[in-house]
Structure 1
Amino acid sequence: MPAGPDRDAETSGCESTAASPTDRARNAVSRRRLLSATAAGSATALAGCTELLSGGGGDPLRVSVWSGNYADRFEESVVSRYEDEFDAEVQLEPGWNNILSDIQTAPDDDPPYDVTITEGNFYYYGRQDDLFHEIRTENVPNFDEVIDYYAEFRNTEYGMPVDGAPCTIIHREGMDFEPDSWADLSSPAVAESNGVGVDTGFWWYPMYAAAVGMDEAELGEEMHDADLHDDVLETVREWPVESWASSGEDIWQAFQNDVIDVAQWYYEQTAYDIDDYDGLTHTMPEETTGYLNHWCVVEGTDKRDQAEEFINFLMDSEVQTAWSEEMPTLFCNENTEYAGDLADDLPSNSEEARNIAFPDWEFLSEHSGDLSDDFTEMQSNA
């Protein structure tokens, strides 16, 4: 996802998801709901077989994660540790825009995953379609160590805040100035450069970045005022966008081909990868936008206890500390100790976390169709 917040920065051919997360989650006919009547009718007949059908027979815990190097690094730094500690097997299911639709179209009692990752968009629409179990907080005691802001700013009834990433500004080292705020993308220096690259799969992040740079309202609140949406769109239109990227590979390639000199991208897909590219660096704005992953137990799983155990494991400060050595990810446990100099850029407390404008899908859901259409039209007319 970061190629989009969680798409692979090193894999080409990633599918653009400009409208699919919202549209699929909002418009897809849920087979889960169509089957609910049948499921209710057969509940009594199945009751005596619950023990035989449930986990405990050695089946792996199926965990859906963002595809690409997120999945690779997650497996290296987290999965092996969990399997060793709990003598259990995890089956990773990397994906992106198919995650919600896979759950929606599966039978009620046979979901494709036991645990799934979600960012704000997926988390909101997944809750609307009843795709997740409520989290039983007594089974996730590490929630007590979550930074207060992450525990409060978004509903945690169906998912636990674990990790995420702010947006950062990638730019050439040889530029005459160092862009260090989103307002700089509207500066004459950037206008005179080769151009800018932005994400199109997650159109809301360039828009939130533009809103943060506008500074007409508090930290991106322009996006939460429908009367200001045209102003935000106009700000993005005025950027010299030359790369409308659907993957991280698009951004890196645009730099290598001298198409762009500056880009909006994601810290988690940048900080540990940028050294692979000559002449590039990145600067984290003091105020920015970004995404936060909530991890959910999928409705219908027969491994609900183990799924909550796994999520609690992800929330452990020692696990997150070790995880940061492999992935430059924002973490939510207040006791996490970031590897290297990551703490210079990533928030470690509520005060710092409040400098990231996380999209509010409770509000955006009413406007996302129009905003997506306007962003797509902007791209088509470029």
Structure 2
Amino acid sequence: MKKITSCLFILVLALSTILAGCGGSSKTESGTTLNVYVWTEYVPESVVEDFEKKTGIKVNLSTYSSNEDMLAKVKSESEGAYDIVQPSDYMVALMIAQDMCEKLDKDKLTNIGNMDDAYMNPSYDPGNEYSIPYLGGAGAIAVNTDIIKDTITSYADLFKPEYANQLVVLDDFRAVIGMAAKSIGYGMNETDPAILEKVKEKTLSLKNNIKLYDSDSPKSALIAGDCTLAYCWSAEVALAMEENEAIQVVYPKEGPYLFLDNWVIPKGCKNYDAAMEFINFMMDAESAKMVGEEFPYLNPNKAGVALLGDDFINNPAKNPPSDAIAKGEFVDNIDTDSLAIYDQIWTELKK
């Protein structure tokens, strides 16, 4: 009888283990490892550790510096290598078009009510079928007013020859070429070859002014005094301002480059329930507050922003003004032939 009972126990245990691994399970088994691929300096270790402690799920965090790097890496790996990625708006649309994303089970996202409606139901993913916004911001200008005495108001100002070798810019071809296009009255998503020829000429005229390309931590060059001007994310300006009060943020009169980064589950994810649990955890108000304290980007989590208080809400670098957002522009997907032109411009600029 003992032997029969033991066999039955083992059979039941094995069956329950199999069922626990099925997509319909509501609770993730402790000891699961999530492979999460995110932007550099964007997800606080303290929040990840809090998630691990509360769930027993281990998070293996790796980072990238551009959407294109992320896409190439995900495509080069076997399906299911990553459980969560963090693409920007236009890249979400591209991944959806290429059938690279799993649909989200909204029933598992109990914190979705914390999100600001202004950032939900975006054009690149109607109904948020595949993505949930995480953080966003603007391509702002940083000015060290101890050194730069001129009044900077626009992207066009950054091209002045007197600023030779003073500028740190994002290591992002769509951001930099788009900024050059806006500086001469065009948009960030131009595809007309004749217009792109003008954009190319303008972009290449910036070469002598660029001292450094850095998307990971452009604030470092500002804080160290190596660069006196920057074209970088608004949150990087905010962090630099905390170290040096002479650094100020400017939103260009042409309207800034806007972005919104998102949580997405890649096709073939091996730990779907755990991935959903992580995304839901990141939408918790306290988690969003912790994120905002360390990385003060535009935060679409209204419950988290309320906890951050007036210091965050009233800081224009941390919380871009509504008039700047209203004038801003998002990057869109463009056709392959146009992308080849952008790539050629970028190659010439950096050589």
Bin the TM-score by the shorter chain. Answer: 0.7 to 0.9
Structure 2 equivalent of residue 322 of structure 1: 290
Counterpart code for 1:296:
V
Counterpart code for 2:289:
T
Counterpart code for 2:292:
S
Q: Tell me, what secondary structure is at the counterpart of 2:294?
A: coil
**Shift in Å, 1:324:** 1.0
**Shift in Å, 1:264:** 0.9
Structure 1 equivalent of residue 259 of structure 2: 291
Structure 1 equivalent of residue 350 of structure 2: 379
Identity of aligned residues (%): 19
Counterpart code for 1:193:
Y
* Alignment of 1:182 onto 2:155: yes
Give the TM-score normalised by structure 1: 0.70
Q: Tell me, what secondary structure is at the counterpart of 1:331?
A: coil
Structure 2 equivalent of residue 130 of structure 1: 99
Structure 2 equivalent of residue 18 of structure 1: none
Change (3 A) 1:332 1:279: closer
Q: Tell me, what secondary structure is at the counterpart of 2:179?
A: helix
* Alignment of 1:157 onto 2:135: no
2:188·2:331 contact (CA, 8 Å) conserved in 1?
A: no
Structure 2 equivalent of residue 170 of structure 1: 142
* Alignment of 1:304 onto 2:272: yes
Change (3 A) 1:341 1:159: closer
1:70-219 equivalences under 5 Å are: 70-71=42-43, 74-76=44-46, 78-84=47-53, 86-96=54-64, 99-108=70-79, 111-120=80-89, 122-144=91-113, 145-155=115-125, 156-174=128-146, 175-186=148-159, 190-199=160-169, 201-214=171-184, 216=185
1: CA distance, partners of 2:322 / 2:191: 21
- Say which of 64, 68, 75 aligns to 2:37: 64
Show CA shifts across 1:317-342 (max 9, x none): 44323321111111223443345245
2: CA distance, partners of 1:331 / 1:350: 13
Change (3 A) 1:357 1:198: farther
Counterpart code for 1:206:
V
2:257·2:330 contact (CA, 8 Å) conserved in 1?
A: yes
Give the TM-score normalised by structure 2: 0.75
Greater CA drift, 367-376 or 347-356: 347-356
1: CA distance, partners of 2:241 / 2:199: 29
Q: Tell me, what secondary structure is at the counterpart of 2:197?
A: helix
Counterpart code for 2:202:
T
Change (3 A) 1:252 1:162: closer
2:297·2:319 contact (CA, 8 Å) conserved in 1?
A: no
2: CA distance, partners of 1:121 / 1:196: 30
Change (3 A) 1:357 1:92: farther
**Shift in Å, 1:343:** 4.3
**Shift in Å, 1:62:** 2.8
Q: Tell me, what secondary structure is at the counterpart of 2:92?
A: helix
2: CA distance, partners of 1:196 / 1:251: 13
**Shift in Å, 1:168:** 1.7
**Shift in Å, 1:255:** 8.1
1:334·1:349 contact (CA, 8 Å) conserved in 2?
A: no
**Shift in Å, 1:60:** 2.9
**Shift in Å, 1:221:** 5.4
2: CA distance, partners of 1:280 / 1:324: 20
RMSD across aligned C-alpha pairs, in angstroms?
3.5
**Number of aligned pairs?**
319
1:61·1:91 contact (CA, 8 Å) conserved in 2?
A: yes
**Shift in Å, 1:48:** 11
**Shift in Å, 1:272:** 1.5
* Alignment of 1:261 onto 2:232: no
Counterpart code for 1:266:
W
* Alignment of 1:332 onto 2:303: no
Counterpart code for 1:282:
V
* Alignment of 1:233 onto 2:200: yes
Show CA shifts across 1:38-64 (max 9, x none): xxxxxxxxx999537555252233322
Change (3 A) 1:100 1:82: same
Greater CA drift, 199-208 or 342-351: 342-351
Q: Tell me, what secondary structure is at the counterpart of 1:223?
A: coil
Show CA shifts across 1:160-196 (max 9, x none): 122123112122222222313223224xxx4223445
Change (3 A) 1:330 1:208: same
Show CA shifts across 1:256-302 (max 9, x none): 575x5322111233312454469544334463113221111122224
Change (3 A) 1:142 1:352: farther
**Shift in Å, 1:213:** 3.2
2: CA distance, partners of 1:231 / 1:162: 35
Structure 2 equivalent of residue 27 of structure 1: none
2: CA distance, partners of 1:102 / 1:222: 24
Change (3 A) 1:351 1:306: farther
Q: Tell me, what secondary structure is at the counterpart of 1:377?
A: helix
Change (3 A) 1:221 1:280: closer
Change (3 A) 1:343 1:356: farther
2: CA distance, partners of 1:197 / 1:75: 30
